[in-house]
Amino acid sequence: MKKYIFICSFIFGLFSKLSAQDIKNNPTSNHGNKFEQLGTILPTPNEYRTASGAPGPKYWQQRCDYDIVAELDEPNLRLNGKETVTYYNNSPDNLTYLWIQLDENQHSTLNNAGYQTSSKMQNVMSDAELRAFDTKKDREYGIVILKVVDVAGKNLKYTINKTMMRIELPQTLKPGQKFIFKIDWYYNIIDRIKYGGARGGYEFFPEDGNHIFTMAQWYPRLCVYSDYQGWQNQQFAGSGEFTLTFGNFKVQMTVPADHVVGATGECQNYSQVLTPTQLSRWQKAQTVKEPLEIVSLKEATASETNKSSQKKTWIFKADMVRDFAWGSSRKFVWDAMPTYVEGKKIMCMSFYGKEAYPLYNKYSTKAVAHTVKSYSKFTFPYPYPVAQSVEAANGMEYPMICFNYGRAEKDGTYTEATKYGMIGVIIHEVGHNFFPMIVNSDERQWTWMDEGLNTFCQYLTEELWDNQYPVGRGPAHKIIDYMKMPKDQLEPIMTNSENIIQFGPNAYSKPATGLNILRETIMGRTLFDYAFKEYAKRWAFKHPTPADFFKTMEDASAEDLDWFWRGWFYGIEPCDISLDSVKWFKPDMVNNAKPIERKTSIRVAKPLYNNTFDDISKIRNRQDKSIVFAVDADTSLRDFYYNYARGLATVDTLPIEITEVLYADTIDNTTKAAAANKNFYELHFTNKGGLVMPLIIEWTFKDGSKEINRIPAQIWRKNENKVTKVFLKDKEVTGIRLDPMRETADIDENNNVWPAIDLPNKFQLYKSRQNNRGQSSGVNPMQKQTK
C-alpha cells in the first residue's frame, strides 16, 4: 500500500513540475537532447568575442609592466623585493581600484584563503595525519607589504583580503590611461619539499649544505581584468593556478656570487656574472649541435664546497610574458644548445644539481628542443628566444622556464619509470609555454583549458619522441577506470579548479583524452589539426574562454561537435555501448527473396583481444612516413631501455586495415541480383553508459580477414538508447568486435563482442603487459607531482 502511494506521488510530481525541456532530458525518453545545440549554455557573442570563437573587432586586454629589484638572502632564507608596476587600462571601463595577487599568503596561517576540506578519523593513522588536525602556529610565512606608493612616493590606500590586495586609485583610471605604482615587500622562503604542494621555495641538501631556490609567484602580481568577468580575484587556495596579464619585465636579482641563475627571458649581463671561461663557452654554445656545458659538473661541485660569501646581480629582460620565475643555486650545472623553428633560433637550456646529472645531462636540453619543435607544429611557432628546464624535484611551469624532476640513483643508474617520467614532465612543463603562458586562459577558473590542452599536446609530443613511448594520459582506454567510478566521485570537466574531486583525471586526462578521441576517431587528423591550430593562433597572446575553444573547433572544421562538448565536457556519463545481438540473414532465392533468419553457434576459441595492443595514434604515426621519431633522428637518445623494449615487445602493426570510408553511405543497393549470395547482418546496440559515441565495428570473416566500419555518433540522434543497423557483407562473418582499438573509452568491453567471449580479466591483462614496455608503466607514479 505504501509503495503504491509512493509511486503515484512520484508520477504526479514528475508531470506537474517538469517543463517540456525537462521531459526531453528524461532518460526514459528515446529522444533526449544529446544532439541539441549548446545554445544558451554558451555566452552571447559580442564585439569582443565573436560567434565563430575568434577575438572580436573590439577585443581588448590589459597590460602590466614590471621593473623588479630582488635580493636573495640565503643565510636567512628570505627574499626582499621592490617593484615598480606600470598598469595600462586598455579596457573601455573606468577603474577606481586595482587587484593584486599575494600568492605567498598561501603559506601564511593568518592570510591564506581559509578554505578547508572535510576530514575523518581512520583505523590506522600516521603521526603526520594526526598532526594535521592540530591548529598550526604561524611560521611567519606569507608576504609582508612594507609600502605601496605612487610614482611621487605618496602612500596609496590598500586592503589585504587573504591572498588578494586591493589598491585604491587616487583618481579614476580612464580608458587609455596608465598608472605607475611601487610596492616594497619581503617574505620568508618556504621549504617546498617539507611543505609539499608549494610551487616556489627552496630545497635543502643536507649532504653538502646547499639549497636550490625556485622563485615562483614570488612578487605581487596584477590580477586579470577582462571583458568576460571583470576582475579575476578568486582567492588562491592551492589548486586553481594563476590568471595573469601580459607585459614586459626587467628583473635584477642579487644572489650569492657563486650561484647560477636561470630565469624567464634573456640575461642582459652575462659578461659581469660569468667567468671569462664560462662566457666563451656561452658564446660557443650559440652554434653547437649537442648541448654544451657553460658550468660543468666539476665547477658546480667545487662551488658546493667553497660557498662564496660575495654577491652578484643578474639582470634579465622578458617581453610579452604573463609571469616571471627564476631558479638560483650554486649546485647548478648549466648546459645549452640552440634549436630552430621556422628559421628562428631558440636557446634550449637546462640547470641541474649533481643528483640529476646522469639523466639531465643526457636528455633534458634535447627534450626541451623536441618539445618546442613538436608543439610549434601543432600550434604556432614558439615565439620566445629561450626555453629552459630546471631540475627541482617537482613539476611547475612559467614562461620560458619550468621546474621538473628526475634524479638518478646514487650509482648513476636510473629506472625506466624515472627516465620516462622525467622526459614526460619536461615535455609537459615546457609545453605549458603554449598553454597557458601564450594562449593565456583563466587557470583560476578552468584548469582543463591549460592542463587538458597541454596534456594532449604532451601526448602527441611523447609519441613523436619514440613510437614505443610508454604514454600515460591520452589514449582512450587509459581513462576507463575513471569513467566507471561512482557518479558522486565524478564531475563535469566544466568545473571550477578548486571544486574538482579527482583533479588529475578530471582536469588533465579527461580533456586530453577527449581531444585525442576528436582527433583520431571523430574528426580525423586533418580537420582536427587545422581547427586546433586555428584556436591556438587566434588566441596566442590573448585570453580565451571555453566557448572560444568550442566554437573555433566547429567553425574551422564544419563538424557539429555540440553533442561531444555536451557529453564529454559538460557531462559525466561514460561510454558503454553494448552489442546485444546479431541476426544473420541470407536471401532465399527460391522463395522470391524472402529473408530467412539463421543463427550461428560458432565460438571464437582465441580472444580477439590483442595483448600487444597499440593505440590507433601509434599505428597511424608509424604509417605516416613523414614522421621521424626523435630516437631515430638522434640515436644518442637510445639507451638500455630503448633496446630492452625492442628485444622483448612485439611491435608489429595490427593485422587490420583502417578504413575511413563510412559503410553506411554505400549500402543502398539491395536489389535481388546484388543480394544473391550476400550476407545481411542486423546488429542491435544499446547505449548503456549514456554517452553517445561513434560505432566502430570490426568484422572478422570466415577466411580470417578483417574489416572495420566507422559509423558517426549521429546514428544515435533519433534514439539515444537503442540502435539497430543492417550491414551487407560478401563474406561470412565469424566474429564482430566493437571498438577494437579501444578508442571510445567504453567502460565495459565484455559486451562489445559477438559471439560472446570472455575478455581477459584485469589481473591477466596486467600480467601480460609486464613484458611490454609500451604498456607497462601506465600512468607514471611520479606524474602526480606534475602541475
Using CB under 5 A, list all residues that contact Zn ion: 451
Q: Is the distance from CB of 524 to CB of 19 less than 8 angstroms?
A: no
- Of 451 and 698, the one with the shorter C-beta distance to Zn ion is 451
Closest separation between CB of residue 395 and Zn ion, Å? Answer: 7
- Of 451 and 520, the one with the shorter C-beta distance to Zn ion is 451
- Of 315 and 512, the one with the shorter C-beta distance to Zn ion is 512
Closest separation between CB of residue 743 and Zn ion, Å? Answer: 25
Residue nearest to Zn ion (CB): 451
Radius of gyration of the chain (CA): 29
All three cell numbers of 81, joined, read 623585493
Report strand pairing: 401-404 vs 386-391.
parallel
- Of 451 and 746, the one with the shorter C-beta distance to Zn ion is 451
> Under 8 Å CB-to-CB from 531, ≥6 apart: which residues?
523, 552, 553, 554, 555, 556, 557, 559
CA distance 391 to 393: 6
Q: Which segments of 286-336 does DSSP mark as H helices, in order?
A: 297-306
Angle, CA of 244, 250 and 252, to the nearest 5°: 120
- Of 188 and 506, the one with the shorter C-beta distance to Zn ion is 506
- Of 227 and 451, the one with the shorter C-beta distance to Zn ion is 451
Q: Which of 712, 747, 416 is nearest to 575 (CA)?
A: 747
- Of 285 and 430, the one with the shorter C-beta distance to Zn ion is 430
Write the DSSP string, 618-678: HHHHHH-TT---HHHH-GGG--HHHHHHHHHS--PPPS-------GGGGTT---HHHHTT-
- Beta bridge mates, 64: 87
Q: Is the dihedral of CA 251, 440, 48, 100 positive or negative?
A: negative
CA distance 757 to 776: 25
- Of 451 and 534, the one with the shorter C-beta distance to Zn ion is 451
Q: Is the distance from CB of 465 to CB of 420 less than 8 angstroms?
A: no
All three cell numbers of 494, joined, read 566544466
All three cell numbers of 689, joined, read 553508459
Q: Is the distance from CB of 586 to CB of 679 less than 8 angstroms?
A: yes
- Of 416 and 451, the one with the shorter C-beta distance to Zn ion is 451
Q: Is the distance from CB of 153 to CB of 159 less than 8 angstroms?
A: no
Q: Which of 229, 245, 322, 323 is nearest to 87 (CA)?
A: 245
CA distance 645 to 690: 39
- Beta bridge mates, 350: 335, 389
- Of 455 and 775, the one with the shorter C-beta distance to Zn ion is 455
Closest separation between CB of residue 447 and Zn ion, Å? Answer: 9
All three cell numbers of 644, joined, read 630492452
- Of 220 and 472, the one with the shorter C-beta distance to Zn ion is 472
Q: List Cα–Cα distances, 462 to 375, 411, 532, 552, 700, in angstroms.
A: 11, 27, 18, 26, 33
Closest separation between CB of residue 511 and Zn ion, Å? Answer: 12
Q: Is the distance from CB of 205 to CB of 331 less than 8 angstroms?
A: yes
CA distance 431 to 443: 15
All three cell numbers of 375, joined, read 608543439
- Of 211 and 510, the one with the shorter C-beta distance to Zn ion is 510
Task: Give the SS3 label for residue 13.
Answer: helix
Closest separation between CB of residue 683 and Zn ion, Å? Answer: 41
- Of 396 and 683, the one with the shorter C-beta distance to Zn ion is 396
> How many residues are given for the chain?
787
- Of 451 and 562, the one with the shorter C-beta distance to Zn ion is 451
Closest separation between CB of residue 546 and Zn ion, Å? Answer: 17
Closest separation between CB of residue 497 and Zn ion, Å? Answer: 12
Closest separation between CB of residue 786 and Zn ion, Å? Answer: 6
Percent helix / strand / coil, the chain, rounded to 5: 30, 25, 40
Closest separation between CB of residue 435 and Zn ion, Å? Answer: 9
Phi-psi region of 127 (alpha: psi -120 to 50; beta: other; left: phi over 0): alpha
Closest separation between CB of residue 787 and Zn ion, Å? Answer: 5
- Of 334 and 435, the one with the shorter C-beta distance to Zn ion is 435
Closest separation between CB of residue 668 and Zn ion, Å? Answer: 49
Closest separation between CB of residue 490 and Zn ion, Å? Answer: 21
Instruction: Determine how many CB atoms are found less than 10 A away from the CB of residue 765.
Output: 14
Write the DSSP string, 539-592: HTTB---HHHHHHHHHHTTT---HHHIIIIIS--PPB-EEEEEEEEEEEETTTT
Q: Is the distance from CB of 269 to CB of 405 less than 8 angstroms?
A: no
CA distance 472 to 456: 11
Closest separation between CB of residue 458 and Zn ion, Å? Answer: 8
Closest separation between CB of residue 576 and Zn ion, Å? Answer: 30
Closest separation between CB of residue 434 and Zn ion, Å? Answer: 11
Q: Is the distance from CB of 688 to CB of 749 less than 8 angstroms?
A: no
- Of 35 and 398, the one with the shorter C-beta distance to Zn ion is 398
Kindly state the DSSP code that residue 409 receives in the 8-state scheme: P
Task: Give the SS3 label for residue 424.
Answer: helix
Closest separation between CB of residue 432 and Zn ion, Å? Answer: 6
Closest separation between CB of residue 366 and Zn ion, Å? Answer: 21
Q: Which of 516, 432, 423 is nearest to 466 (CA)?
A: 423
Closest separation between CB of residue 198 and Zn ion, Å? Answer: 16
- Of 83 and 462, the one with the shorter C-beta distance to Zn ion is 462
Q: Name the one residue in this structure whose C-alpha cell is 626582499.
A: 80
- Of 335 and 451, the one with the shorter C-beta distance to Zn ion is 451
Q: Name the one residue in this structure whose C-alpha cell is 667545487.
A: 302
